[in-house]
Every structure is written in C-alpha cells, then in structure tokens.
Amino acid sequence: MHLHNRIDRKVLKQQIQESAEERITLSFYQYAHIGNPSLFRDHLYLQWSEIGVLGRVYVATEGINAQINVPEQSFSEFQERLKTITFLKGIRLNIAVDDDSKSFYKLKIQVKKKIVADGLSDETFDVTNKGVHLQAEEFNELADDPNTVIVDMRNHYESEVGHFENAILPDVDSFREALPEVENILQDHQDKNIVMYCTGGIRCEKASAYFKHKGFPNVFQLEGGIIHYARQVQEKGIDNKFKGKNFVFDERLGDRITDEIISRCHQCGAPCDTHTNCRNEACHLLFIQCDSCAKKYNGCCSSQCQDFVQLPEEEQKQLRKTKQQKRNVFRKGRTNHLKH
C-alpha cells in the first residue's frame, strides 16, 4: 500500500473545489515524547486516509502538529480514532471560525526534526515545562492589567492583518527569528506578566516554556490561541480584544474574526487584508492584494510577473529553472517591487 498521495495536486484541488461535500476544518497539536515518529506517521496515514481526512501534519520526537479537514459525516469516527492514541485522548480540537470546506485538498503527513522549528540546540530546555494557560476571560483580565505585556509570537505577515490590542508585534519572518527578537524586547519587562499568543497555541506554548527556561517568572499563554479565543468570545458574549483577520496556513489564508480591516494592499495602499500568492509560480510571493490590483495585475505581484505568466507554458517552465526567476521565493510581503 502506498502511504502517500499519488494523484496530481491540480486534479485534487479541482475535485475539492467542485465538491459539495461538507468538511470541518480544524487544528490541534500536542507536545509529547514519540519514540518512532516514522512508524507513528504511517499509522496516522492509514487511519486517516480511510475516512477521507485531508491536510498537513507534522510528526517529530517532540509531538504532533496537525492542520486538517474532515468530512462532516466522518467526524465522529475521526474523534473515536483519536481516542485510541493515548497522548491524544481528550485533545482540544480548534475548529475553524470561518470555514468554506475548501481548506485542504490532499493528506500530507511528514516526519520532521521538530513540529515547530525553533533553531535551538539547548538540551536542557524542556518544552513540556510550559507557561500558565489562559482562557479568553482570563486573557482579557490580564490584558487590562497595566503590569502585563502581550506578545504576538507569529510572523509579521500574520500580525499585519490581525492582532490583539496593544500587543508587541515582532518584525520577523519565522518563529526561530522570533525567540531571540522577543527575548531582547522583554529585557526591560522581566517582572511583568508576559502573555503570549499565536494562531492555535503551538508556538506560544513552546515560547512560554522557553521564556520560563530563560528565567522569566510570570509567563502565560492563550489557551488554543486566536482560534479558541474567537470561539469563546462568540459563545460567551465577552469582549473581543482581537482586531481583524486571523492568518491561517491553508487554502483560505485567513479566518475573519472581526469586520475591521487594519492592513493595506501592498500594491496600491487601499484598505485590504486579503493575502494571495503571486500567480507566477516562479515567484509565488505571499502578499496582500485588493480586488482592483488583482484585476490590474492578473493576480501577480508586479508587472514583471504579469508579463511572465503571459509567456507560453513551456517557456515559463524553462525560465523557472533559472536563479533569477526564483529570487522572490520566501520573501513574503517585504519587497520594494510591489510599490508602483
């Protein structure tokens, strides 16, 4: 049996886009000691592919990080199968707030060195010695305390479209960059309440453990991240201190939390919080683009990329192999050529 997808990704994506099947998008993570990640990976693939689970899953010796969607009719079966895995019994599932059932189109489970790349090599660091978890109401109470510092542990392109009021927003591209940057920022706040948050909890949980390890005495994290917070706000009718959109790492690229638009189109400067990837696959830059600019540039980040996608497909394929055409990969929204 082949324990990976063998169908062309474009075919899979089209099938999902055309499907009327209702799916539930969710995420979960758990830090745990896994002795044989490869064996565990294969077990998950067999279990989940049988019931139509799609998504992106990372497995490592330190635990599991899953972002998936499940057919609505198979959701109960999926929960039962989770219960058969000891360290996942009772796991909190972060159900997406703004779900269109099109978040993923294939199942991809990978074995990684870590489920969250952190760049650390300190063997004395115990990721399970985490900070105090906060529910939404507790988070709000601490947020109103003048002795509290709120830190967004996400990347700059995530916080750009949505974040909590008065939060510190590190100007970083990755979590491994965030740890030293935040440590430097917090040097003058050693004795304050350090409250961290991220999308679903996995990064701020590791960060909270890291800053406890570094000697910060009062470290907290938002339980379940922005996703769980938004659901609690809806269900309990409490004050929502998050503004804008929650960036997510799937086909949707965002969960609408509030109607406020706090960011701008990277091309024309109009109010906008819609992320997109440049249509030029040799570039594929992630950036914010309004509908007007999407039409003007044909879904591309620049006139250069717009010209590129007009070339015959075979010529595009040859040019994609050149270094010049790959320069903008992974540069995210930070690039001068977006301004016209």
User: Which one of 198, 204, 300, 305 is the catalytic residue?
Assistant: 198
Q: Facing residues of 55 across strands? A: 68, 107
Nearest to 227 by CA among 208, 254, 250: 254
Q: Is 283 a catalytic residue?
A: no
- Dig out the tokens for 73 from the structure: 């009719």
| CB-based contacts of 315, cutoff 8 Å, min separation 6 | none
DSSP state of 84: T
- Kind plus residue range of the DSSP H or E element containing 262: none
| CB-based contacts of 255, cutoff 8 Å, min separation 6 | 96, 97, 98, 226, 227, 230, 245, 246, 248
Residue with tokens 């758990």: 30
Q: Looking at this protein, which amino acid is placed at residue 289?
A: Q
Q: Facing residues of 133 across strands? A: 221
Residue 202 CA neighbour count, 13 Å, CB half:
25
Q: Which residues are catalytic?
A: 198
